[in-house]
Amino acid sequence: MSTPLNRLTKLVGEVADLRHAADLLEWDERVCMPEGGAQVHGEMLATIRRLAHEKLTADAVGEALDQLNGHRGGLDPDSSLSRMIAVTARDYDKATKVPADFVAEQARIVSAAQPAWARARSACSFSIFQPHLEAIIGLKRRYVTFFPSADHPYDVLLDDYEPGMKTADVKAILGTLRPRQVELIRALAERPPIAAAFLHVPYAEQELWAFAVDVITAFGFDWAHGRQDKSVHPFATAFGADDVRMTTRFVEGQPFGLLFGAMHEAGHGLYEQGVSGAHHRTQLEGGASLGVHESQSRLWENLVGRSLPFWEHFFPKLQARFPSQLGGVTLPQFYKGINKVERSLIRVEADEATYNLHVMLRVELEIALVEGGIAVEDLPEAWNSRMQEYLGITPPNDASGVLQDIHWSAGLLGYFATYTLGNLIAAQLWDKFQAIDPARDDQIRRGDFSALRSWLGSEIHQYGRMYQPRELVKRVTGSSIDPEPYLRYLESKYRGIYS
């Protein structure tokens, strides 16, 4: 006899299958689709996204949820079943406010926008991408109208990536970070510059790729259930814990972007591989939020990957691979070089001290775009003006300015704040782990990441979407999301590097 739980499990499992299929198509678009395939991909994605949306918002799902909600009072509120019902009900409620035709239209527009963005970036010409971005902004403004009770229109977009977070919360966090980070950057600018020419000489791409694979393997990434490819902009995606895809990229003149990009995406990959199999094909699959997800990628890329203990282990191995480039470089020189602070154009290659300023710029522009304070055609000028104001540099072209990120072409407005939130959460987790395992740095110095990975798996990864992000951070660290640990980390680290 069919029960409400069985019916819900079957329906939501089919939704997950359709979403995974759409995600796989999007991975293909970014990694190996020929340029001429954009239209047919857009048609396929529109159909699959619409079917997934219709299935999630079907009356049968609502009826099963109504019946199950009546039994939740008898369940442990922290049980997987109780959390699954609550999360599915929340997702169902949001989804039923959005028409299926809108979901299909968005999939078509985004599918066409991404290859247009790649062409525009290659040609350093925003005008190629402008009509596509105008269509996306128009979609987002329509999407906001489906949720008229929101305190601020940007809250609606932010909630898709960081449930429960408000625009006012983000502004308050950025307002706390900005003066301290600007002060730190100014103080470091007065110190003698760090020489790091060895980071920009030619390196063999395949050798760097192989070294990155060695590092990611040491982190614990399971290659039997994952892979790494190349793309214009690094990203990670998953179709459940058993199939996790990552990409990185190689840029002449910035060769180590490949390594740090790979470490960053591996953080996402480890999170997805660590989600409990019990959550597969349910609404609990995936990460708690994009901010929590970014905490994992920023932790592995920076707190681990740019630390001195990490390079005490790995620098001799890197030096052996590249004797002509690094043979005369000492470990202290290399460590200082990879942590050099300088005002730079590209967010994904920015140092930790300036990184959040890149995020602030994007968040402010997104809010203005949604509110109508900036027209899309004026975006390059607004971007360049803020880059000059925040970092004292102006992009020489659109490719290194307004076109550098893939997110807007993918329709991901509301996403950028999660990078800064990820930095803050990562620092809190880092402090907490050291408090319970004082041997943390010695383990990293030996190239042993098993304790850290296991702790993150048990405290964060396994739960998937069971807990809302702020609730999860509170459970693990005992604190709400707080800028102070990150600011302490930055100030202590860079005082040491710059004496």
Delimit the domains of the chain by residue range. 4-141, 167-497
Domain 167-497 fold is: Neurolysin; domain 3 (1.10.1370)
Catalytic (active-site) positions: 265
Please compute the mean of the pLDDT values over residues 388-406 and round it to a whole number: 94
d(CA 257, CA 277): 33
pTM above 0.85, yes or no: yes
Q: Helices in 322-416 by DSSP H: which ranges?
A: 323-326, 331-338, 352-371, 379-391
Q: What percent of the chain has pLDDT over 70?
A: 100
At residue 233, the pLDDT reads 87
- Give the model confidence (pLDDT) of 460-496 as tens digits: 999 999 999 999 999 999 999 999 999 999 999 999 9
Three-class secondary structure assignment of 395-435: CCCCCCCCCCCCCCCCCCCCCCHHHHHHHHHHHHHHHHHHH
- Give the model confidence (pLDDT) of 434-464 as tens digits: 999 999 999 999 999 999 999 999 999 999 9
Three-class DSSP category at 248? strand
d(CA 10, CA 4): 10
- Over 80: is that where the pLDDT of 73 sits? no
At residue 1, the pLDDT reads 44
Structure tokens at 267: 């953080």
Average predicted confidence (pLDDT) for the chain:
95
Are 324 and 347 in contact by the 8 Å Cβ rule? The answer is no
d(CA 113, CA 135): 9
Please compute the mean of the pLDDT values over residues 68-88 and round it to a whole number: 89
Please compute the mean of the pLDDT values over residues 7-15 and round it to a whole number: 97
- Sign of torsion over alpha carbons 3, 5, 9, 11: positive
